[in-house]
Amino acid sequence: MIVVLDTNHFTDFANASAPGHRLMARMDERNSDSFTCIVAAEESLQGWIAFTRRR
């Protein structure tokens, strides 16, 4: 199975939140490959840039 992560799922996965752990467990059960789109990476990067500008 192939899983494509959108920005919200990518963030949960990366931050190891409770929903991220559930997602990881379901993906492990199904032995799935995961991918994310470039938009999710760009949105995450923009969030970090905004965070550092505020400091």
Q: What is the pLDDT of residues 30-45, one digit of tens each?
A: 998 888 888 888 998 9
Look over the chain and give the mean of its residue pLDDT values, rounded to a whole number: 89
Q: What is the CA radius of gyration of the chain?
A: 13
Q: Residue 44 contacts by C-beta under 8 Å, 6 or more apart in sequence?
A: 7, 10, 11, 14
**What are the residue ranges spanned by the domains of the chain?**
2-54
Task: Give the burial class of 40: count Cβ atoms within 10 A of its Cβ; 0-12 exposed, 13-18 middle, 19 or more buried.
Answer: buried
The reported pTM is 0.66
Helix ranges restricted to H, 1-55: 7-15, 18-29, 38-54
**Looking at per-residue confidence, does 49 or 1 come out higher?**
49
